[in-house]
Amino acid sequence: MRKRVVITGIGGLCGLGTSAPAIWDAMRAGRSAIGPISNPALHDIKVATGCEIGELPDHGVERKQLVAMDRFSLLAVIAAREAAHHAGLTIDEASTHRIGATVGVGVCGWEVIEENYRAILLEGKSRAGIFSVPKAMPGAPAGHVSMNLGLRGPVFGVTSACSSSNHAIASAVDQIRLGRADAMLAGGTDAPMVWGILKGWEALRVLSPDTCRPFSADRQGLVLGEGAGMVVLESYDHAMARGADILAEIAGAGFSGDASDIVAPTIDGPERAMRACLADAGLNAEEIDYLNAHGTGTKANDQIETAAIKRVFGDHAYKLSVSSTKSMHAHCLGASGALELIACVMAIREGIVPPTANYREPDPECDLDITPNTARERKVRTAISNAFAFGGTNAVLAMRAV
């Protein structure tokens, strides 16, 4: 019998707020944080809508570590510290080798890359900053989380574009089930509000000029945001032994590859990932109460995801509560799945389904109950969270009440 893995702490920050409770309060209220981008370093971008963190909270990270961190690493550390504190997790000489960290990222430390390009190519400087490589590397956030909290168990980064959080969390679950760790800090982070990244997304012609309206017939595309989300995962026995407050259980995970196109999604890939997740969790489709959709607000994604949900859930698809919280915190790339996991955990805890904000017009191709604009009270015993990414890398997580 495999080990049960539970969630005992959550932490996060994004445009909605700089703590998990603040994020959840905004989600529950259906409040979107999407708006005009205020960063003056973004120069000549055409689509100036995004979801920024207004001001970082006091974080207590020492300057010695800060000088070697890009923004995406700092966000991960802030979220991880909150999650560890929320869980009441003791990290000392007795436990340090049995606690690790996995952090998913969609891109990398792009802030330092852009600073160096501008310094060398535009300002004529002769060398890059000394910490450029360690700041930029995709594995940096996991390393910084481990250093800041003193974690000496399994530590590594995970990158699979917009599925990175879900893959990182599932990888952490595996470390615990394989006996390599008793507890893991897991989640995702990204800070893409940088000129070079936004210009790249502009070229794809998928950015919305105003806001994110998932499943609404008048949707115009996705909106990028920044943020991080982290959870504390523990074996059930470890959590019980120390008297931890268990928030929810990771029931299962499912993965698939589209093996089709680098950017265009398929129905088959997401369908197989959801089916694999249900099978891994030992759940029937009829047992799922809430589905946090990938829900990017693009024409293709929302119609394809709706079709995949109908294939997997059949008639029960119309009894599910579905929502896309990206309508409120935008698409935070590698952080999205972790922020959406917070939504799922709190839906289970409080019996409230967060809404899909900004919804205006029904789309006959997206005809599920997408909880438009206003949160709904509903007993949520089980929830699944979808993450589908460029490259056709799909990852779905299932959670249940304990």
- What amino acid positions are annotated as catalytic residues? 162, 294, 331
User: Which distant-in-sequence residues (6+ apart) come within 8 Å of 201 by Cβ?
Assistant: 47, 192, 207, 224
| Secondary structure (3-state) at 100 | strand
**Gap between the terminal Cα atoms of the chain:** 18
Task: At 54, list the tokens.
Answer: 């207004």
Task: At 141, list the tokens.
Answer: 């956030």
Whole-angstrom distance, CA of residue 249 vs CA of residue 230: 15
| Secondary structure (3-state) at 353 | strand
| Secondary structure (3-state) at 275 | helix
Q: Is 115 buried (19+), middle (13-18) or exposed (0-12) by CB count in 10 A?
A: middle
Whole-angstrom distance, CA of residue 351 vs CA of residue 380: 5
- Residue 249: φ, ψ to 5°: -115, 140
Task: At 202, list the tokens.
Answer: 């502009």
Residue pair 108/136 in contact (Cβ under 8 Å)? The answer is yes
Q: Is 324 buried (19+), middle (13-18) or exposed (0-12) by CB count in 10 A?
A: buried
Residue with tokens 């890009």: 70
Whole-angstrom distance, CA of residue 271 vs CA of residue 266: 9
Positive or negative torsion for Cα 299, 163, 355, 225: negative
Closest CA to 11 of 220, 334, 246, 229: 229
Positive or negative torsion for Cα 237, 243, 244, 249: positive
Chain centroid to CA 289: 20
